[in-house]
Amino acid sequence: MTEPVRLSKRMSELGLCSRREADEWIERGWVRVDGKIVSELGSKILPNQRITIERQAAAQQSRRVTVILNKPMGFVSGQAEDGYKPAVTLVSGDTRWKEDKTPIQFHPSHLRSLVPAGRLDIDSVGLLVLTQDGRIAKQLIGEDTSIEKEYLVRVQYTKPGKLPDSDLKLLNHGLSLDGKKLLPAKVRWQNDDQLNFILREGKKRQIRRMCEAVGLKVLGLKRVRIGRVKLGELPVGQWRYLSSDEQF
């Protein structure tokens, strides 16, 4: 017989919401298992049992926003660190991109629980996703995510001559970090001093460390795409809402 699992874990696995949201909905009596309301935190169910959520939960979820920000240098993705401001402080009515076509009216409540779905280092720029929606966070940074992230990386070779083709192949597949083999990447020259990286994982300072391993120094790093969502013409330091017809 299949082992019972926590209801909140199962809801997250099914992509209904994040675990935190699941716990909140369970406490409010918004979750049914095989038609019966389950309101006790930590309740366990069998994987084949049917989970439904009340309309209030769906309505609350539909009001959650996701923001696409063009992060400048000098801002951290998450919590404030060493005197540096978090990227969320850039989100205000004044910094919203004038070309944003979404009909959503900015409201200060959109800043509540608006968290980064993935990191972008303090010295890196470009596309950063901030979301109130646990489903999107799980999609982008969950353990089994396979969504591509694309970067433009300006580099300088620290050895004589040019980077050998064999080392470019290593960047594509064959390097390890922290004793663990990296997933295959797509790395190619964009122009004489700029590489295009497409990754399906995001270890801490991964691109910088990969480059270092083959004698390349990173001079600039910009994320330009996550899945199907592109940075496009969004100006530095400005943001827009993810529209209802956009999907990562």
Tokens read off for 55: 């309309």
Decide if 100 contacts 198 (C-beta within 8 A): no
Decide if 241 contacts 67 (C-beta within 8 A): yes
What's the distance, Cα to Cα, between the start and end of the chain in Å?
Answer: 36
Q: How far is CA 107 from the centre of its chain?
A: 23
Tokens read off for 6: 């926590």
Nearest 5 degrees, angle CA 157-CA 181-CA 142?
Answer: 105
CA distance 141 to 119: 9
Whether 34 is a known active-site residue: answer no
Marked catalytic residue, from 34, 94, 121, 133: 121
- Active-site positions? 121
